[in-house]
């Protein structure tokens, strides 16, 4: 196992892969990553599936087989069958990790349709259906942290469904997400439901924040904070997480077997080529966290990564940086709201492109 990834594991941070594809499963790449870097999970989203299904012919055989059984299947239905197959296979590969970590890691995430991001009831129905269809103990259903998504998160947790809450950008929304998680556990506890098998992660997005804030800093004519706000924001969120999960309220649930909702650092590839390739790994190392890395970032971290308990370092400096941002009249709250809206829209566009890709495969004869 690579020494840097071994050090991450020793500190208490898990590495998940921000990618899934049929080729990754067929060529045993997932097994290799488990062996080489101690990979402990996999996440997916509409953009990832759009790239996977849209490139090459790895899915064409299954599309043809499904249509030979039921020619009336829609592109949406075909996509769900393709995605569920990949998720099930990945979950089976990661199941030994799930067992070895006592159900803390070894998860694979699949997202409800982004078209439902502002539809509470639709999200609940889709989450139930996907969870039942995948039928694996180590699957997490991804639900975005929109205001409409929050009640769905609470409901699913109360029903014992493992949830990956996605598209979190601000501390305010993070606190709402944790409230939904804890309230869902409390509701489940009232019904004497098991708590120790209900796992959840809060996917907090990183690099997109710097991409947006850096532009605002350019407009403000101040470059001193460029490339720093995303990490500063994450450090303060981690501090809040520590406070919440050490509170008397959560300790009562913990005594009944409840697990903390770990922070998962998402969008950790470096978008600005002038920043170090591993900046959003190096600066976010911390106990009881997850970092989802794309393959290129994993490779870069093997040789260039720096490992120390960075997330709890220079927290006061992070606070000052956020204060300075406010003094520059840059409204961080509005930025994070826009990033959430843009994130949902981006996933929706990817989903529509994905459905169009599957429709085209049917039309031009890939499925015959």
For 125-161, the pLDDT digits (tens) are 999 999 999 999 999 999 999 999 999 999 999 999 9
Q: What are phi and psi of 356, to 5 degrees?
A: -65, -40
User: CA 183 to CA 179: how far, in whole Å?
Assistant: 6
User: Backbone dihedral region of 195: left (phi > 0), alpha (psi from -120 to 50 degrees) or beta?
Assistant: alpha
Q: Residue for token digits 């349709």?
A: 113
Q: What is the pLDDT of residues 245-304, one digit of tens each?
A: 999 999 999 999 999 999 999 999 999 999 999 999 999 999 999 999 999 999 999 999
What distance in Å separates the CA atoms of residue 274 and residue 60, rounded to the nearest whole number? Answer: 40
Listed residue (148, 166, 167, 170) closest to 331, CA to CA = 170
Whether 142 is a known active-site residue: answer: yes
Catalytic residue among 40, 142, 228, 361: 142
Does domain 3-363 fall under CATH 3.40.50.1970? My reply is: no
> pLDDT: is 299 or 361 the higher one?
299
- Note the pLDDT of residue 306: 95
Domain spans in the chain, listed from the N-terminal domain onward: 3-363
Instruction: Decide if pLDDT at 48 tops 60.
Output: yes
Tens-digit pLDDT profile for residues 78-124: 999 999 999 999 999 999 999 999 999 999 999 999 999 999 999 99
Q: 316-345, pLDDT tens digit by residue?
A: 999 999 999 999 999 999 999 999 999 999
Average pLDDT in the chain: 95
- How confident is the model at residue 56, as a pLDDT? 79
């Amino acid at each position: 196992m690579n020494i840097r990834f071994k050090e991450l594991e020793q500190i208490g941070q898990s590495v998940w892969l921000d990618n899934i594809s049929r080729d990754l499963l067929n060529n045993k790449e997932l097994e290799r990553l488990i062996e080489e870097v101690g990979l402990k999970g996999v996440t997916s989203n509409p953009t990832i599936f759009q790239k996977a299904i849209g490139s090459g012919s790895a899915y064409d055989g299954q599309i043809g087989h499904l249509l030979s059984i039921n020619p009336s299947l829609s592109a949406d239905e075909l996509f769900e069958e393709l995605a569920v197959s990949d998720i099930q296979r990945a979950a089976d590969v990661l199941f030994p990790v799930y067992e070895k970590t006592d159900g803390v890691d070894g998860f694979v995430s699949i997202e409800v349709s982004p078209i439902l991001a502002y539809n509470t009831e639709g999200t609940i129905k889709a989450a139930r259906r996907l969870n039942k269809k995948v039928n694996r103990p180590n699957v997490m259903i991804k639900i975005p942290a929109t205001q409409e998504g929050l009640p769905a998160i609470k409901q699913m947790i109360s029903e014992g469904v493992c949830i990956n809450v996605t598209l979190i950008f601000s501390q305010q929304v993070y606190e709402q997400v944790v409230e939904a998680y804890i309230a869902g556990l409390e509701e489940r506890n009232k019904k004497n439901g098991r708590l120790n098998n209900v796992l959840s992660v809060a996917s907090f997005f990183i690099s997109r924040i710097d991409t947006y804030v850096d532009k605002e800093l350019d407009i403000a004519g101040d470059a001193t904070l460029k490339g720093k706000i995303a990490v500063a924001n994450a450090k303060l969120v981690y501090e809040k997480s520590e406070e919440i999960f050490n509170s008397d309220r959560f300790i009562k649930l913990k005594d009944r077997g409840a697990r903390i909702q770990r922070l998962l650092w998402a969008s950790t590839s470096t978008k600005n080529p002038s920043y170090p390739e591993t900046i959003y790994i190096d600066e976010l190392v911390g106990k009881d966290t997850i970092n989802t890395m794309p393959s290129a970032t994993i490779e870069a971290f093997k040789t260039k990564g720096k490992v120390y308990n960075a997330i709890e370092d220079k927290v006061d400096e992070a606070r000052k940086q956020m204060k300075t941002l406010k003094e520059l009249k840059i409204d961080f709250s509005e930025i994070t709201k826009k990033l959430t809206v843009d994130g949902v829209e981006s996933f929706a566009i990817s989903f529509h492109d994905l459905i169009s890709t599957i429709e085209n495969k049917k039309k031009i004869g890939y499925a015959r």
